[in-house]
Amino acid sequence: MNVVFLGPPGAGKGTQAKYACSRRGIPHISTGDILREAVANGTDLGRRAKGYMDSGALVPDDLVVSMVAERLSRDDCGEGFVLDGFPRTVAQAEALEETLSANGGVLDGVLYFSVDDEDVIKRLSGRRICRECGANYHIEFMPPAKEGCCDKCGGELYQRDDDKAETVGERLKVYYRQTADLVDYYRDRGLVAEVDASLSPSDVQAEVEKALAGLDRS
Ligand code: AP5
């Protein structure tokens, strides 16, 4: 099953992609995670991407498209994947279609995570991430048992630089300017299942499972 999770920053795409992929044994491909790893490792890609990410802008299409094409060519994508955070522009969507069709594949569906801006701002400002294992928390909605400390590995929790108030507003603007049109782009192709992402994490998970089951049957 080849699926895209689409929606505004902080909608809960990453949280749900982790559950859905671990249940199915398919890779969760988050372009944000790959780019952050490249920045942390000081690679050429990371150096070129960092300024864009810090300001809340999109990394240029050519950099992201080739990065995703390489990732999708790996053996672990044979049974499918969830793409989280890609595509984010029409050019990226077209490139994805070309990459998949070159390998004899298609996109089976797009889950659109619908949530309002107020929820997004609350979710991003309270998000905390483990420095060691990358586990994701929220200080109010999904808190760790011990403040500042990861339940899974005991690592230190930190706030992403781009989750600070000044950058969150810019990320939302960028979403509406460059990414939101993809909902209609994929609706026109009959690929969109809408998920009410304003619900609690467990209710959103149930919605995601229902939407993915619909794709399994088709
Ligand atoms: P990226 O990392 O993709 O950021 P994003 O799309 O802004 O998505 P987020 O990871 O912020 O949110 P999410 O929807 O995954 O929410 P989460 O599950 O964590 O991209 C970062 C940057 O990289 C971009 O700005 C850009 O510069 C660059 N980039 C990446 N991809 C690119 C591309 N394709 N092209 C160009 N540039 C690219 O949840 C958020 C919080 O809410 C968490 O704390 C969570 O615990 C909590 N939460 C989750 N669900 C719920 C719920 N139902 N109720 C309450 N709280 C919840």
23 Cα–ligand 1 center, Å: 21
Is residue 36 annotated as a catalytic residue, yes or no? Answer: no
Mean pLDDT computed over every residue of the chain: 95
Site of tokens 């994947």: 81
Contact 103, 72 (CB under 8 A): yes
| Strand arrangement of the beta sheet that strand 2-6 belongs to | 28-30, 81-84, 2-6, 109-114, 192-196
Residue-wise pLDDT for 44-76, tens only, equals 999 999 999 999 999 999 999 999 999 999 999
* Residue having the nearest C-alpha atom to atom 29 of ligand 1: 32
pLDDT given for residue 103 in this prediction: 85
Percent of the chain at pLDDT > 90 equals 94
Beta bridge pairs of residue 194: 112
Centre of ligand 1 to C-alpha 100, Å, is 24
Which is catalytic among the residues 36, 71, 88, 128? 88
- Cα-Cα-Cα-Cα torsion 156, 148, 161, 69, nearest 10 degrees, comes to 60
pLDDT value at position 166? 86
Check if 127 is active-site.
yes
CA distance 115 to 10: 9
Q: Tell me, in angstroms, the distance from the centre of ligand 1 to residue 213's CA.
A: 24
Architecture of domain 2-115+165-213: 3-Layer(aba) Sandwich (3.40)
Q: Which residues line ligand 1 (CB under 6 A)?
A: 9-15, 31-32, 35, 52-53, 56-59, 64, 85-86, 88, 92, 123, 126-127, 136-138, 141-142, 162, 171, 199-201, 204
Let me know if 171 is a catalytic residue: yes
Q: List alpha helices for 41-179, DSSP H.
A: 44-55, 61-72, 90-102, 117-126, 165-174
Residue 165 has pLDDT above 90, yes or no: no
Q: Which of 5, 15, 92, 204 to mutate to test the pocket of ligand 1 (most atoms within 8 A of CB)?
A: 15
Q: What is the pLDDT of residues 101-125, one digit of tens each?
A: 998 899 999 999 999 999 999 999 9
Parse the chain into domains and list their residue ranges. Answer: 2-115+165-213
| DSSP SS3 for 184 | helix
Segment 163-179 shows an average pLDDT of: 94
User: Which pLDDT belongs to residue 87?
Assistant: 98
> Tokens 């991407």 — which residue?
49
* Residue 148, C-beta contacts closer than 8 angstroms, at least 6 positions apart: 128, 156, 157
How many Å lie between the centroid of ligand 1 and the Cα of residue 114? 13
Task: Report the interhelical angle of 61-72 vs 31-40 (nearest 10°).
Answer: 100
Span from the CA of 11 to the centroid of ligand 1 (angstroms) = 7
pLDDT confidence of residue 217 = 52
81-84 vs 136-138, strand pairing mode:
unpaired
Which phi and psi (to 5°) does residue 133 adopt? -110, -5
Cβ pair 74, 88 in contact under 8 A: no
Average pLDDT of span 197-213: 96
pLDDT, mean of residues 140-164 = 95
131 carries an active-site annotation: no
Q: How many residues does the chain have?
A: 218
Q: What is the mean pLDDT of residues 126-140?
A: 94
